[in-house]
Amino acid sequence: MKRSEVIALGAVGLLMTAALWPSNQQAIPAADPALKPGDGFQTLAFASLDECRASQAVTSQTCDLEFGKSEQVSVADAPKFEALTDCETEYGASQCRPATWNGASVFVPALAGVLIARSLTNAVAARSQPLYPPRTGPGVCPPGVSVAERPECAPRSSPSSSNSGSSGNRSSGGSYWFYSTGTGSTVGRTSTSSVADTVLPTRSTTSRTSVSRSTSFSSPSSSSSVSRSSTYSSPSSSTVSRGGFGSTSSAHSSGS
């Protein structure tokens, strides 16, 4: 899906929720009344089944079930490439594997983990999707954005260093792991917590063969405006002059 999943406005609240899951994806029911965006859910990224089972965040049965589903759908879900080199250009050296899809030989990124969404209000409701190694790419990071935060602005010559998708360190010192989803979104977590705290939509996947698309989890948007005391308004010495800006605007409209 190439559009926002949920839009909320402060003035009128939640406008609408786009269909969250495509109906053609068997592992994920198209309509799951147990898990609505408004409920509040938590997204967790697990590098392995063992880590999932050890986490206690979800039950072992859920881990088995969701990892099993992800393995089943990972070929259909993953971006597919006709040539190994094209796949490795996107995902880094040794991050791709051969697969068969609709009778054709293709290359797909290897499964690097599973993203599980669990409802905070309903213990059994969970959804999942496969995770792949972070995408690499050439180019310039926008100012202030580190490679750790946006792995695709890493130079192509330095592919991710391990199968878990570890890529770089955070400034705080903790190791930060990145993954990508089938639609090309970037998912991040720290090495010590499975809570996926970065689910950044990134550029979409354009693979060499046609692909069935899934959507990534997005954190539920809150429609309420934040009401808290103005903790950030520091008092200052009083203003000595005002109204200096804006003289050009009398002649023009400022937008473009």
Partner 1 sequence: MDRIRLTERPDWRTKAEAYGFPFHTIGGAVYWDETVAWRFSLREIEEDIETPTGELEQMCLAFVKEAMKHETILKQLDIPDAYWTFIRESWGRGDRNLYGRFDFAYNGKGPAKLLEYNADTPTSLFEAAVFQWTWLEEQMAAGKLPAGSDQFNSLHERLVAAFKNIRRGQNFLLHLASVADSVEDKATVAYLADCARQGGLETKELAIGDIGINGEGLFTDLDDALIQVLFKLYPWEWLFREEFAKNLPRCRTQFIEPPWKALLSTKGLLPMLWEMAPNHKNLLPSYFTQDPRAAQLGDRVEKPLHSREGANIRIIRASGEIESTPGDYGGPGIVQALAPVATFEGGHAIIGSWVVASEAAGIGIREDAGGITRDTARFVPHFIGG
Which residues of the shown chain bind partner 1 in the complex (CB under 8 A)?
1-12, 15-16, 18, 139-140, 142-145, 149, 200-204, 206, 218, 221-223, 225-226, 228, 230-249, 251-256
DSSP string across 112-123 = -EEEEEEESS-T
Which CB atom, from 66 or from 152, has the smaller least distance to partner 1? 152
Which CB atom, from 100 or from 226, has the smaller least distance to partner 1? 226
Closest approach of partner 1 to the CB of residue 146, in Å = 9
Closest approach of partner 1 to the CB of residue 19, in Å = 8
Closest approach of partner 1 to the CB of residue 54, in Å = 27
Helix (H) or strand (E) holding 105: strand 104-109
Residue 171 neighbours by CB under 8 Å, 6+ apart = 146
Which CB atom, from 105 or from 242, has the smaller least distance to partner 1? 242
Measured CA to CA, the distance from residue 82 to residue 250 in angstroms comes to 58
Residue 87, classed as helix, strand or coil, is helix
Residue 45, beta-bridge partner list: 115
Q: Which residue has the tokens 């986490």?
A: 55
Which CB atom, from 191 or from 219, has the smaller least distance to partner 1? 219
Q: How many CB atoms lie within 10 A of CB 143?
A: 5
Closest approach of partner 1 to the CB of residue 44, in Å = 19
Q: How far is CA 90 from the centre of its chain?
A: 16
Which CB atom, from 103 or from 232, has the smaller least distance to partner 1? 232
Q: How many CB atoms lie within 10 A of CB 91?
A: 27
Which CB atom, from 56 or from 237, has the smaller least distance to partner 1? 237
Which CB atom, from 173 or from 240, has the smaller least distance to partner 1? 240
- The answer to whether residues 134 and 113 touch, using CB atoms and an 8 Å cutoff, is no
Measured CA to CA, the distance from residue 244 to residue 169 in angstroms comes to 44
Closest approach of partner 1 to the CB of residue 143, in Å = 4
Closest approach of partner 1 to the CB of residue 108, in Å = 19
Closest alpha carbon to 4 in 16, 117, 195, 38: 16
Closest approach of partner 1 to the CB of residue 47, in Å = 23
- The answer to whether residues 133 and 109 touch, using CB atoms and an 8 Å cutoff, is yes
